Amino acid sequence: MPPLNPWPRLLRRYAALAVPVVLAGWFTGRLLEWVLAAVLAATLWHLYNLARMERWLRLERKLDPPLSRGLWGEVFDGLYRQRKRQRARQKKLRQLLRRYRDSAKAMPDATVVLRRNYRVEWWNDAASALLGLNWPADEGQRITNIYRHPEFVAFMERPERSHGTAVLPSPVNEHLHLEIRLVPYGEKQYLLLARDVTHLVHLETMRRDFVANVSHELRTPLTVIYGVSETLEDELGDHPELTDSVRLLREQAQRMKLLVEDLLLLSRLEKAAEPDFDEPVEVVRLLEQLVEEGGVLSGEAGHALSLEAEPGWLLAGNEGELRSAFANLIGNAVKYTPPGGRIAVRWRVDPAGGHFEVADNGPGIAGHHLPRLTERFYRVDDGRTAGRGGTGLGLAIVKHVMVRHGGELVIQSALERGSTFRCRFPRERLLPAVTDPSRNHQHGVSGPPDTCRQGPAETGGPPTASH
Ligand code: ADP
């Protein structure tokens, strides 16, 4: 309930005080002096109380206000009530903060509060154990001066490149693997979270090694089966009842060989985050070869394959890996585009980086498949994959190659509107070539050049997924 309005009571009291002053002045014939004396007394009274209030607010920590009556009593009471409310609020906030800090302290995951310039402001016990933070020495230090692992420093410089997460060895014990997340909040403030994922990394390594070992072990027997089936097929010319079975045997052995090769390539790609070595790759020459091979693969299907490649740039990367990725995309376009369809292969460089693209006017892919296309063995189940000889690993390989080269694969497709697969490489990987740029690199291999216009040029644009 709000306090009562004190003014009517106060005015009555002032009137009661004013009456005797006026009467005394009247009877003594010195009204002015009496009134002046009363005003002076009132002013001194107010100044005295003002001084008490200022001193109470400035110096005194105790809650109780100085005792006073009348108007000043009301003012002191009002201030007292406000101070009391404020103290209660502060107490509640302090308790809330303590509870919040206690719960953050108890979290098994490391939590570090970073302010501007990644300077450490607060951390919990798990952060001391996993990231080696020491109190009070590390307070206010830059986190990259405490945790100096080059990959961590690179991660903190460009967290958006790895979508704010990375798996790195702990600075305290290199056998511990930490999943690090950087979460921005407020103004230039960050939460650095680290979780021990050693067991997950071990399981992942076991899975990778298992697949790699099995694939490796299968390689030799499959080569033998394939070789023998080929020889048998040649030899069995006069046993037509057996040739079909042997042909089937050779085809399946060939499929398994491809599968094993792809699985081995994938486990090699997964082993390290970056290519084994970087070399300046002549993209234009590589694409000329691949488009030519695409023409051979197309064979009687007679696709109109075109190449539009910007000369003058080299791409720092692993040529073998890039060849695999580009060949997979061109091969898929040939595999899935009906005979006579158009396939455009493009390479261009702009300030954002290098862009390789394969666009076809084939059947396209429904939007809901796009986010999952780069999963191993994921196939669009519409009967089109049957008998195309794919392993279901092609796009997984492309995605890994792109991640290792610091780039990304963007797939844009819609049913009946063809597909475009784009590989974007970061600008740092492009080097100017010292070759003759006057060479014409725009030509059709088995059809008119640059005839395929798809994707973003169309209104609305088909669905897209980045990998
Ligand atoms: P696969 O070995 O089966 O080709 P990929 O990983 O290369 O495996 O491709 C996954 C699936 O994506 C394919 O099974 C196919 O359904 C679809 N796909 C890939 N490229 C195209 C394309 N250019 N046009 C239509 N569908 C495609």
CA of 449 to the centre of ligand 1 (A): 24
Structure confidence at residue 71 (pLDDT): 83
Q: What is the distance in A from the centroid of ligand 1 to the CA of 355?
A: 20
Residue 3's nearest CA partner among 75, 59, 65 is 75
How many residues in total does the chain contain? 467
Of 237, 271, 305, which one is at a domain's C-terminal end?
Answer: 271
Cα 332 to ligand 1 centre (Å): 6
The answer to the question of residue 289 being in a domain is yes
Q: Does residue 445 belong to any structural domain of this protein? A: yes
362 CB within 6 A, ligand 1: yes
pTM: 0.66
Q: Is the CB of 332 under 6 A from ligand 1?
A: yes
Please report, for the domain that includes residue 313, its CATH number: 3.30.565.10
The CATH number covering residue 133 comes to 3.30.450.20
**How high is the pLDDT of residue 443?**
47
The DSSP code for 338 is: P
- List strands edge to edge, sheet with 279-282: 279-282, 313-317, 430-432
Counting from 1 in the atom list of ligand 1, the atom nearest the Cα of 390 is 2
Q: What is the pLDDT of residues 175-188, one digit of tens each?
A: 999 999 999 998 88
The structure tokens listed for 198 are 């050693």
Q: pLDDT digit string (tens) for 402-426?
A: 998 989 999 999 998 999 999 999 9
Average pLDDT (144-150) is: 93
Same domain, 320 and 372: yes
Residue 66 binned pLDDT confidence (cut-offs 50, 70, 90): confident
- Dist CA 443 CA 435 (whole Å): 19
The Cα 163–Cα 406 span in angstroms is 12
Mean pLDDT of 365-385: 84
Stretch among 3-7, 194-198, 336-340, 403-407 having the lowest mean pLDDT = 3-7
- CATH number, domain with residue 246: 1.10.287.130
The predicted model gives 105-125 an average pLDDT of 92
Q: Is 336's C-beta closer than 6 angstroms to any atom of ligand 1?
A: yes
Residue 1 placed within a domain: no
Count: domains in the chain: 4
Q: Is the pLDDT of residue 60 over 90?
A: no
pLDDT, tens digit (0-9, with 9 covering 90-100), for 295-353 = 999 999 999 999 999 999 999 999 999 999 999 999 999 999 999 999 999 999 999 99
Same domain, 422 and 443: yes
Burial (0-12, 13-18, 19+ Cβ within 10 Å), 188: exposed
Residue 20 has pLDDT above 80, yes or no: yes
- Domain presence at residue 57: yes
Tell whether ligand 1 has an atom less than 6 A from the beta carbon of residue 391.
yes
- Lookup: tokens for 146: 């405490």
- Which residues are registered as beta bridge partners of 168? 178
| 463 assigned to some structural domain | no
Whether residues 120 and 239 share a domain: the answer is no
pLDDT over 50 (residue 447): no
- Which of 217-231, 237-251, 266-280, 427-441 reaches the highest mean pLDDT? 217-231
Contact yes or no for 344/303 (Cβ under 8 A): no
Output the residue whose Cα is nearest ligand 1's atom 7. Answer: 394
Instruction: Please enumerate in sequence order all residues whose Cβ is within 8 A of that of 286, keeping only pairs 6 or more positions apart, or say none.
Output: 319, 322, 323, 326
- pLDDT of 458 reads 39
Per-residue pLDDT band for 285 (boundaries 50, 70, 90) equals: very high
Q: Which atom of ligand 1 is nearest to the CA of 389?
A: 2
Structural domain contains residue 223: yes
Q: For the residues 107-112, what does the mean pLDDT come to?
A: 92
- Verify that 130 and 84 share a domain, yes or no: no
Task: Classify residue 376 by its DSSP letter.
Answer: T
Listed residues 218, 246, 271: the one ending a domain: 271
- Assigned domain for 461 exists: no
Q: Is 451 in the pocket of ligand 1 (CB under 6 A)?
A: no
Greatest mean pLDDT among 236-245, 283-292, 371-380 lies in 283-292
The number of C-alpha atoms within 13 Å of 162 and in the hemisphere containing its C-beta is 21
67 pLDDT above the threshold of 70: yes
pLDDT at 353: 94
Q: How far is the CA of 293 from the centre of ligand 1 (A)?
A: 18
Tell me the percentage of the chain whose pLDDT exceeds 70.
Answer: 91
Average pLDDT, rounded, for the chain: 87
Q: Quick one: 377 exposed, middle or buried, by C-beta within 10 A (0-12, 13-18, 19+)?
A: exposed
Q: 297 and 433: one domain?
A: yes
State whether 206 and 190 are in the same domain.
Answer: no
Q: Are residues 204 and 128 in the same domain?
A: no
Its domain, for residue 142, covers: 107-196
Q: Is residue 419 part of a domain?
A: yes
Query: How does residue 7 score in pLDDT terms, banded at 50, 70 and 90?
Result: confident
pLDDT band at 383 (very low <50, low <70, confident <90, very high): low
pLDDT computed for residue 64 by the predictor: 82
With 90 as the cut, is the pLDDT of residue 437 above it? no
Question: Is 21 buried (19+), middle (13-18) or exposed (0-12) by CB count in 10 A?
Answer: middle
Cα distance between the two ends of the chain: 62
Q: Over 60: is that where the pLDDT of 444 sits?
A: no
**In this structure, are residues 309 and 441 in contact, taking their beta carbons and an 8 Å threshold?**
yes
pLDDT band at residue 363 using 50, 70 and 90 as cut-offs: very high
Residues 332 and 245 in one domain: no
Residue with the larger pLDDT of the pair 282 and 382? 282
* 460 has a pLDDT exceeding 60: no
Instruction: State the average pLDDT over residues 453-463.
Output: 48
Q: How far is CA 20 from CA 14, 33, 35, 43, in A?
A: 11, 14, 11, 18
Say if residue 234 is in the same domain as residue 381: no
List the residue whose alpha carbon is closest to atom 21 of ligand 1: 332
CA of 383: how far to CAs of 92, 386, 388, 391, in Å?
A: 65, 5, 10, 14
3-state secondary structure of 345: strand
Amino acid (1-letter code) at residue 253? A
Q: CA–CA separation, 380 vs 400, rounded Å? A: 20
Indicate if 396 and 306 belong to the same structural domain.
yes
Identify whether the C-beta of residue 241 lies closer than 8 Å to the C-beta of residue 375.
no
Q: State residue 1's pLDDT score.
A: 66
pLDDT at 233 over 70: yes
The last residue of one of the domains, among 225, 249, 271, is 271
- 16 sits in which H/E element: helix 7-28
- Give the residue, out of 329, 334, 336, with the most ligand 1 atoms within 8 A of its beta carbon, to mutate for a pocket test: 336
Token pair 């206690």: residue? 102
Does residue 435 share a domain with residue 320? yes
357, 427: one domain = yes
Instruction: Provide the token pair at 230.
Output: 């080929």
Structural tokens at position 325: 């990725």
pLDDT band per the 50, 70, 90 thresholds, residue 200: very high
Nearest-atom number in ligand 1 for the CA of 418 is: 24
> Which tops the pLDDT comparison, 399 or 441?
399
